[in-house]
Amino acid sequence: MPDNKALTLIAIYLYVSELYENELQYTCQRFSNNSSPEFTDAELMTVYLFVITQQQYFQVKQIHRFAREYMLSWFPKLPSYQGFNNRLNRMPEAFKTLAIGLFINFIPSDCDFETSLTDSMPIVTCKGKNRKAKVATEIVDKGWCSTKSMYYYGLKLHLLAFRRAGKIPFPEFIGITAASENDLTAFKELFGDKIYNRVVFGDKIFSDKPYFDAKYIEQNIEMLTPIKLVKGESEALRQREKAYRDLYGYSVSKIRQPVEAFFNWINEKTKIQEAQKVRSTKGLAVHVFGKIAAAFIYLIL
């Protein structure tokens, strides 16, 4: 292993081990005779994060194969693939806690804490108009992705992020819903009561004047979106307002465009959208939160 990757491996292990001792162990604690396995949970998380970020292998089988062939000198107690996968499926809450810790502890100094961007992206377990979901059916359902013009079964990853001028935004909150969940409804449930004194930029789906008028009074939240056409509005008024509305919509879209760059970045680094190989609900949770943690470990290191 090259020296630079060895140092990265050590850095990931030290960070994960310290956080595990202080916090993560309480999210995956065992009450059995095997409560202190030879291959520790911190080592398990380190292998998963390192292989994704440094080797760009994204499936659990690929990650285990690489570790078995090239990392046994570092982790001599590495279990079989079945054992590795079973252990990994116990860790979704640990990866979720790790990701939240990365968001909180490594906020860049150039974040604009009064301006946020919001949007969602699909996480696909299977796609096609006539396909049926067979995995994690208690948390996934059918949705439509207008950006990719596709029907799919899976989840939506919802993002509320601080704006950074000229850079991809940095997450403040991330939430998961079923694919059919409306983005506006998800915003209200996941983020609406958690933020104050904020201007938020979103797309047209977030247009809800009564709700955000109330939020402006209660929490000083202002939502800016491209202007939706009003049903029943006269054609003369539409033509008169067209130039203003187009310019306003272009300005809002330009400001919120980096959120698309964020989704492209995290998918490029982790393939988080591609969950077709996942075979269980816990596996899907590890896929989502483990990939988010891996992306930000990569960014920070």
Q: Same domain for 52 and 79?
A: yes
Record the pTM.
0.90
Element (H or E) spanning 174, and its range? Answer: strand 170-178
Q: Same domain for 116 and 254?
A: yes
pLDDT at residue 299, rounded to an integer: 85
Structure tokens at 287: 């896929």
Cβ atoms within 10 A of the Cβ of 279, count? 14
Q: Same domain for 203 and 282?
A: no
Structure tokens at 83: 């054992």
Distance in angstroms (rounded) separating the CA atoms of residues 47 and 185: 37
Q: Same domain for 159 and 95?
A: no
Q: Same domain for 97 and 226?
A: no
pLDDT digits (tens, 9 = 90+) for 180-236: 999 999 999 999 999 999 999 999 999 999 999 999 999 999 999 988 766 766 777
Q: Same domain for 92 and 18?
A: yes
Number of structural domains found in the chain: 2
- For 46-77, letters b (16+ CB in 10 Å) and e give bbbbbbbbbeebbebeebbebbbeebeebbee
Question: Residue 131: pLDDT above 90?
Answer: no
Which is more confidently placed, 19 or 34? 19
pLDDT at residue 85, rounded to an integer: 94
Work out the average pLDDT over 137-146: 88
Work out the average pLDDT over 71-81: 95
Q: Same domain for 57 and 155?
A: no
Q: Please, which pLDDT band fits residue 244 given cuts at 50, 70 and 90?
A: confident
Q: Please, which pLDDT band fits residue 145 given cuts at 50, 70 and 90?
A: confident
pLDDT at residue 31, rounded to an integer: 57
Q: Same domain for 54 and 191?
A: no
For a pLDDT cut of 70, what percent of the chain falls above it? 95
Residue keyed to tokens 């958690």: 194
Of 107, 213, 219, nearest to 163 by C-alpha is 107
pLDDT at residue 232, rounded to an integer: 67
Q: Same domain for 117 and 253?
A: yes
Work out the average pLDDT over 21-26: 89
What's the mean per-residue pLDDT of the chain? 90
Query: For residue 106, what are the contacts with CB-CB under 8 A and spacing of at least 6?
Result: 296, 300
Structure tokens at 197: 């004194």
Domain membership of residue 117 as a residue range? 110-270
Q: Same domain for 233 and 132?
A: yes
Structure tokens at 267: 């998918």
Q: Same domain for 234 and 138?
A: yes
Q: Same domain for 26 and 114?
A: no
Element (H or E) spanning 86, and its range? Answer: helix 81-88
Question: Residue 129: pLDDT above 70?
Answer: no
Of 295, 266, 277, nearest to 119 by C-alpha is 266
The 3 state secondary structure assigned to the chain is CCHHHHHHHHHHHHHHHHHHHHCHHHHCCCCCCCCCCCCCHHHHHHHHHHHHHHHCCCCHHHHHHHHHHHCCCCCCCCCCHHHHHHHHCCCHHHHHHHHHHHHHHCCCCCCEEEEEEEEEEEEEEEECCCCCCCCCCCCCEEEEECCCCEEEEEEEEEEEEEECCCCCCEEEEEEEEECCCCHHHHHHHHCCCCCCCEEEECCHHHCCHHHHHHHHHHHCEEEECCCCCCCCCCHHHHHHHHHHHHHHHHHHHHHHCHHHHHHHHHHHHHCCCECCCCCCHHHHHHHHHHHHHHHHHHHHC
Work out the average pLDDT over 36-51: 92
Distance in angstroms (rounded) separating the CA atoms of residues 290 and 49: 8
pLDDT digits (tens, 9 = 90+) for 173-188: 999 999 999 999 999 9
Burial of 89 (0-12, 13-18, 19+ CB in 10 A): middle
